[in-house]
Structure 1
């Protein structure tokens, strides 16, 4: 640490190059203390949270992450997508219980993998999951007091901008920046949307468009 000392962080923001140097620190106690001071200076002791109702629009996903407990394949005699009336019923329950946010969770582009997904979407009047999501989020804004937050996986800049029209915020877990997990034998093998470069690109596109965005790591 030649260019910048930990204590200097209280005086100025580090450059990108200087910030990378902090990854070499083994004794992180000083770094934690400075981070705590900056947090308290900026936010005090306020902890914010959002009362939300979860809307699992579909649990189908084209990825096959080996640790995932959310996604599942198609089941015989069982719908893979929540129907509009099911969504609205759940939203009403959320409103009654004081929720302010409708958190949409779903798998990445299942129609690219499953014939069942394509058929169900066709019955709903859509070609893609994101199209159905857009319509549903639009109803949330028009027919409820809730604000949609969308976790729809990896998306293009155009998809992000389109969904911004019907959402208060969006999100994508970065999960990991290790390409090793994406290789054969790793938990992300066979999951194209878990390529770190692809996920980082989506997060960067959201930043460019100034979309309120949440992210995180899996530890």
Structure 2
């Protein structure tokens, strides 16, 4: 999307001397360092199915013996849990029902930000999510519902200040409440404020101010209720 800071491309990785993915040794080194510092959980965060876009990613996975990125994530989640004791929290983007079923046995929890239900920010040219098919609100809401039906403890949330209206911001929270009440699977709701970053398409956008963030948190508390973790 137009504000992402961690996305990269194969050419940049090669120039920096990195592989297409973190190697198993690199994954475990990070996890062991976290465990030594007292961490209890390991966050696995990555882009949606890079092998669908980049031949280099697909070739790396094939060379390592994995059918796709999620197969590699699953294998590393098992190793991190068994070799470091950290609990894997998987955030690999949009997942299908089948994906959730194969990852559920190796991860106590998963997550994916809803961000917004404002479809126009995805469908209209110039919008922050335009050209990012995985950011379609209906697709992300389907993931939340499938996670709930699968009894997967799930972290989600909204991102404020990317061009949504107050009404759209509230609608996003009402959708989260609807899913939470239906399946009781949403364990945490993040209310995140947009901050402009250099070298992104939205670097000239104003930040969401702290007063806006405080107001959004207050509205989230009112809509989601006192038992919600926000």
* TM-score when normalising by structure 1: 0.69
Distance 1:190 1:117 in 2: 21
For the residue of structure 2 that corresponds to 1:153, the secondary structure is coil
Q: CA RMSD in A?
A: 1.0
Which deviates the most, 66-75 or 96-105?
Answer: 66-75
Distance 1:114 1:208 in 2: 32
Distance 1:88 1:154 in 2: 24
170, 177, 180: which one pairs with 2:120? 180
The yes-or-no answer on 1:217 pairing with 2:158 is yes
88, 99, 106: which one pairs with 1:166? 106
The yes-or-no answer on 1:68 pairing with 2:4 is yes
Report what 1:197 is aligned to.
138
Distance 2:88 2:120 in 1: 34
1:98-117 equivalence runs, <5 A: 98-117=38-57
For the residue of structure 2 that corresponds to 1:162, the secondary structure is helix
Unaligned runs of 5+ in 2: 161-230
For the residue of structure 1 that corresponds to 2:130, the secondary structure is coil
Distance 1:175 1:73 in 2: 24
For the residue of structure 2 that corresponds to 1:215, the secondary structure is strand
**Where does structure 1 differ by over 2 angstroms across 4 or more consecutive aligned residues?**
75-78
Unaligned runs of 5+ in 1: 1-64
Distance 1:141 1:67 in 2: 32
1:123: how far off? 1.9
Report what 2:90 is aligned to.
150
Distance 2:30 2:18 in 1: 18
Instruction: Give deviations 1:105-141, integer Å, cap 9, x for gaps.
Output: 1001111100111011112211211010000001112
Distance 1:140 1:166 in 2: 10
Report what 1:132 is aligned to.
72
Instruction: Give deviations 1:38-97, integer Å, cap 9, x for gaps.
Output: xxxxxxxxxxxxxxxxxxxxxxxxxxx010011111123531200000111111111110
Query: How many residues matched?
Result: 155
Distance 2:19 2:3 in 1: 23
